[in-house]
């Protein structure tokens, strides 16, 4: 079987997205160019790698096998480049990082400060939900990931670097505003606007109330923190969000936090990567920067002003 690294990369990207169109966008190619590269690879393999059912494409059995090999080959090539770069002492480099949607409120500040100190490092930032982050970690697609509570069952290195308090937000005119030490039982009569099921914030909220035998009325489900803030501000219910997402709204008086018992729920932000992964010089410097920037005595109560 004869193939080029270009064909392998095009195939791997298309297989990861299960879309020739999205592969073309990521690789800055035309869709016919992607189709041609994959067709040439299929001719070399003498087996179909994709099959189309309706409007969707799927990997064939041969495609699934090749995808695993392609991923390992491309990872080894990337690692080789990083090792040679490190041996050359090159100061420049690439940092491919992914952050949770909630973390993006402070991650851009971190990256801006890092970039000022390392202007020759090219940074690629992806902002996605928890499900996307877990998939990227599974496939080892990113140098580093910044997220909330990482899954315990996976072979990961997860280092806490900053507090991530979850607070209850309300519109300024809500009846519970101004009350002290609101009992958790009183919250059962309120409607909550919540994140989707796969969200880390949603999971933390449900664990917290479940252990206290409290059942909340989740009237609306949103896929972003911005949508939750707007819904709460419009008086559609209460919300539970990371305090990092509402800094501006609290300062402007558009939202308030409620003083409820046992709140805020204290969580942490983590910098995460696959165990055994050989970090590039740029990724290693960024990890060290993040951990050093944080206040370790309190897991990083970072001043972002």
Residue owning tokens 């990113």:
142
Report CA torsion sign: 52, 61, 134, 272. negative
The pLDDT value recorded for residue 298 is 36
Distance CA 131, CA 148 (A): 12
Average per-residue pLDDT for the chain: 87
The yes-or-no answer to whether 5-83 and 91-162+268-298 have a common fold is no
Summarised one tens digit per residue, pLDDT across range 246-255 is: 888 999 999 9
Spell out the residues 6+ positions from residue 229 whose beta carbon is closer than 8 angstroms to its own.
169, 239, 241, 245, 246, 249, 255
The DSSP secondary-structure symbol of 296 reads: G
Residue 219 has pLDDT above 80, yes or no: no
Tokens of 302: 């970072």
165-267: CATH class: alpha beta
**pLDDT at res. 86:** 62
Domain extent listing, the chain: 5-83, 91-162+268-298, 165-267
Q: Which CATH number fits domain 91-162+268-298: 3.40.50.1460, 3.60.21.10, 3.40.190.10, 1.10.287.1040?
A: 3.40.190.10
The residues pairing with 239 across neighbouring beta strands, listed in sequence order, are: 169, 193
- CATH fold for the domain made of 5-83: Arc Repressor Mutant, subunit A (1.10.10)
Q: What is the pLDDT of residues 280-297, one digit of tens each?
A: 888 888 999 999 876 543
Q: Which helix H or strand E contains 192, and what residues bound it?
A: strand 191-195
Q: Tell me the DSSP string of 240-288.
A: EEEGGGSHHHHHHTS-EE--BTT-SEEEEEEEEEETT----HHHHHHHH
User: Which value, in Å, is the radius of gyration of the alpha carbons in the chain?
Assistant: 23
CA atoms within 13 A on the CB side of 63: 20
In degrees rounded to 5, what are phi and psi of residue 182?
-65, 125
């Amino acid at each position: 079987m004869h193939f080029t690294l270009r064909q392998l990369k095009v195939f791997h990207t298309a297989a990861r997205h299960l879309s020739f169109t999205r592969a073309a966008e990521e690789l800055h190619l035309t869709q016919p160019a992607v189709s041609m590269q994959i067709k040439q690879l299929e001719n070399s393999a003498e087996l179909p790698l994709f099959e189309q059912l309706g409007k969707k494409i799927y990997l064939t059995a041969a495609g699934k096998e090749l995808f695993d090999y392609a991923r390992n080959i491309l990872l080894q090539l990337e690692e080789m480049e990083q090792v040679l770069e490190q041996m050359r002492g090159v100061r420049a480099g690439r940092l491919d990082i992914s952050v949770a949607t909630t973390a993006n409120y402070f991650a851009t500040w971190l990256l801006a400060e890092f970039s000022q100190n390392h202007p020759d490092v090219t940074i690629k930032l992806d902002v996605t939900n928890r499900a996307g982050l877990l998939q990227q970690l599974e496939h080892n697609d990113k140098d580093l990931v910044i997220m909330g509570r990482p899954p315990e069952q996976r072979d990961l290195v997860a280092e806490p670097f900053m507090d991530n308090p979850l607070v209850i937000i309300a519109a300024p005119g809500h009846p519970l505003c101004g009350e002290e030490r609101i009992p958790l039982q009183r919250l059962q009569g309120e409607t909550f606007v919540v994140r989707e099921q796969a969200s880390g914030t949603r999971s933390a909220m449900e664990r917290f109330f479940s252990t206290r035998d409290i059942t909340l009325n989740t009237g609306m489900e949103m896929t972003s923190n911005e949508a939750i803030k707007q819904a709460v501000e419009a008086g559609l219910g209460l919300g539970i969000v990371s305090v990092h997402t509402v800094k501006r709204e609290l300062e402007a008086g558009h939202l308030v936090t409620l003083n409820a018992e046992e709140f805020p729920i204290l969580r942490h932000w983590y910098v995460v990567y696959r165990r055994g992964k050989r970090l590039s010089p740029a990724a290693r410097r960024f990890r060290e920067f993040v951990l050093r920037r944080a206040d370790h005595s309190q897991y990083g109560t970072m001043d972002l002003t």
